[in-house]
Amino acid sequence: MSDLLPVSRSSSSPQKIGVLLLNLGTPDGTDYWSVRRYLGEFLSDPRVIETPKALWWPILNLFVLSTRPQKSGEAYSLIWDRERDDSPLRVITRAQADNLAQRLAGDGIMVDFAMRYGNPSTRSVLEKMEAAGCRRILLMPLYPQYSATTTATANDKAFDALRRMRWQPAVRTGPAYFDDPKYVEVLGESIREGIAALDFEPELVLTSYHGLPQSYVDKGDPYERHCHETTRLVGEYLGWPASRLKVTFQSRFGPSKWLSPATDTTLETLPKQGVKKVAILAPAFHADCIETLEEIAIGGKESFLAAGGENFAYIPCLNDTQASMDMIEAMVRRELSGWL
Annotated binding residues: 210, 291
Q: Which of 119, 116, 118 shows the shortest CA–CA distance to 142?
A: 116
Cβ neighbourhood burial of 172 (10 Å; 0-12, 13-18, 19+) = middle
What are the distances in angstroms from CA 275 to CA 103, 250, 267, 305, 311?
Answer: 44, 19, 9, 11, 10
Give the annotated binding-site residues for Fe(2+). Answer: 210, 291
H or E element at residue 204: strand 204-210
How many of the other CB atoms lie within 10 Å of CB of 116? Answer: 23
CA distance 98 to 165: 26
CA distance 286 to 135: 28
Asked if residue 21 lies in contact with residue 97, where contact means CB atoms within 8 angstroms, the answer is yes
CA distance 195 to 315: 8
Residue 44 CA, distance from chain mean position: 18
